[in-house]
A and B are shown apart, each in its own frame.
Chain A
Amino acid sequence: MNPHPSSCSNGRSIRTRFARRFLRALKKIGSKGSSSRPSPRDISWRCRRVKIAADASMASAVGPRRVWSRTMLNMLRSRSHACLHASRLGNSRRPGADRHAVGKRKRLVLKRKLPNRLGLNQVNQLRRLVPGGEAMDLDILLDETAHYIKCLATQVKVMRSIVDYCSA
């Protein structure tokens, strides 16, 4: 999957760092919401927390040298308070539907940054998928996309192995 040996070692270290951060965050989440009977609101809150933890740990494992991780960290930082307030108030959105589940956080940013999304070709779709991709040149966008795909694959692997471990 990784054609370059240098990025291979890089991916390994990113994987290590992501796993450490994510497990730490999971531990914190698990210790925080330790009620006996989880309500659906509790579960949705927890799901959001886990997802935010996954994103944050991935972005912080990559570090600020990539545009997408920088953007994601900024997004999470600016959004964490609002998210916590929203979860406390209980007006949770519905994350179940297909298209809405995909890029919730990205679309939130998009509504702020890019109000008219009418010219939809592939590049614009890609811009919306990659965090921070709205203001990139095409070559930088493709570069970031490649790195983002690698990191997402790493994230999926790690999370899946954790899930397998938990449900085993």
Chain B
Amino acid sequence: MKPIGGIEVRSMNYSHKNVDIGVQAYQLGEEFQMLMAGPPPTGNSFTALLELPANQAMELLHSPGAADSPTELPLKRHHNMSHRSARNHPHDCAPAFPSNAALNEGATKYSGISTAAAFGGGGQDSPESSSSANAMKVKSEPMDSGSSPNSLPHTSNPTVASKNEKHTKRKEREKGKATNKKNKTAANDNSKEGERLPYVHVRARRGQATNSHSLAERARREKINARMKLLQELVPGCSKISGTALVLDEIINHVHSLQRKVEFLSMRLAAVNPRIDFNLDSLFTAGNGSVLESNFPSMVMPLMWPDIQMLGNEQECQQQWHLGSVNQPVWTRQEGHQNLIISENSLLSYDSPANSVSLHSSQQKMEI
């Protein structure tokens, strides 16, 4: 936490001092896009933190040649401006850094900036970081620093930045909504920040809590609802039911019935297996053919083909394959049945009598 505080307060300091530069830089808005790919002017002990959306950062990273002169400070965001300028003028900030009361005031004032800076600083290690007030400041908004999605931890080295990018994108996907809201609320505290952050998407409606916990909880609830909807589409006959408990009941029944079907089919396979194990080679190929609907990878088929010809039961194989394809609509129709008994009976009905008898006997033996 402490290195975060160091970076943050440094940027605070800069934004506090150079507001006019910030405004100017904000007006230069369009030129910024290519800036970040430029080589860092200062050493790597001081790391620049940027808050960028991931696509824009990607764009910046992929065009390394188009760097403006870094002294112009053409950064689109106020965050970017502050950190970038802090990076470019470290000598400005460095003397004023440790334990300045006005500095801490500035830090609390620019909390919207500080959150992004704090998150970006999480990946960095800046050695000078020992102000207790800064640590306290960071502690006061831990959720922001943890969940700021747009902030990209850009070090001076572009390769490190590109390495960090994937991580940040993932984070953005997870927590994007909550943090955008958070940024907006932080920006609303300061009118200047609000003007300078026109890109922030607000998803919190009126009357909704903007506490970080409630935001996270809301995101979780929406995720659960989406999953539930997907499950409702997945389970047949479940899409018309409303009510979470009933839907869950249906899902449970469906999983139950599927597991029972697997159990029953494995029982049938166990009963059938000794009868056909001499035939299993042809079963292997033909089963693949029928099961996979001729979508089997062609590298396996030539491997298995000579087995059939060697066994000489190609005819039988073909015949059984046709029978399997005839039977196929039957069991696909039966899939909709929730009741296992019905499907059992119908399965047994079109079996050969010997097989059904053996199956019955095996089932009885199972139950005994």
A interface residues, Cβ below 8 angstroms from B: 1, 3, 12, 15-16, 19-20, 23-24, 26-27, 29-31, 33-35, 38, 40, 43-44, 46-47, 49-51, 53-55, 94-97, 101-103, 121-123, 125-126, 129-130, 137-139, 142-143, 145-146, 148-150, 152-153, 155-168
Contacts and interface: CB of A to CB of B under 8 A. Distances in A.
A130 B152 CA distance: 38
Contacts of B263: 51, 95, 101-102
Interface string B230-263: 1101111000000001001101101110111111
Contacts, number: 208
Given A30-B280, A54-B262, A163-B268, 8 more contacts: A1-B234, A3-B230, A40-B362, A51-B266, A102-B263, A125-B248, A149-B235, A149-B251
B368 interface: yes
Given A27-B280, A122-B248, A50 B273 contact: yes
Contacts of B366: 40, 43-44, 47, 94-96
Interface of B: 220, 223-224, 227-228, 230-231, 233-236, 245, 248-249, 251-252, 254-256, 258-263, 265-277, 280-281, 283-284, 286-288, 290-292, 295-297, 300, 320-321, 323-324, 327-328, 331-332, 335, 351-352, 355, 362-363, 365-368
Nearest to B282: A165
Contact of B270 (A15, A31, A47): A47
A48 to B, nearest CB: 8
A139 B220 contact: yes
B333 to A, nearest CB: 12
Contacts of A138: 224
Contacts of B283: 23, 27, 162, 165-166
Query: Of residues A26, A29, A164, which shows the largest number of chain B Cβ atoms within 10 Å of its Cβ?
Result: A164
B228 A102 contact: no
B288 A49 contact: no
Nearest to B286: A165
Query: Of residues A27, A43, A155, A158, which shows the largest number of chain B Cβ atoms within 10 Å of its Cβ?
Result: A43
Given A19-B291, A40-B368, A34 B274 contact: yes
Contacts of A160: 261, 265, 331
Contact of B224 (A35, A142, A153, A168): A142
B255 A164 contact: no
B247 to A, nearest CB: 9
B170 to A, nearest CB: 15
B126 to A, nearest CB: 35
B261 A156 contact: yes
Contacts of B328: 161, 164
A156 B292 contact: no
Query: Of residues A24, A55, A96, which shows the largest number of chain B Cβ atoms within 10 Å of its Cβ?
Result: A96
Contact of B266 (A122, A125, A153, A159): A159
Contact of A122 (B245, B258, B272, B287): B245
A156 B264 CA distance: 10
Query: Of residues A29, A35, A44, A167, which shows the largest number of chain B Cβ atoms within 10 Å of its Cβ?
Result: A167
B327 A47 contact: no
Contacts of A149: 231, 234-235, 251, 254-255, 258
A58 B188 CA distance: 53
Contacts of A165: 283, 286-287, 290, 320-321, 323-324
B2 to A, nearest CB: 32
B211 to A, nearest CB: 20
A143 B220 CA distance: 13
Nearest to B268: A163
Contact of A150 (B234, B267, B270): B234
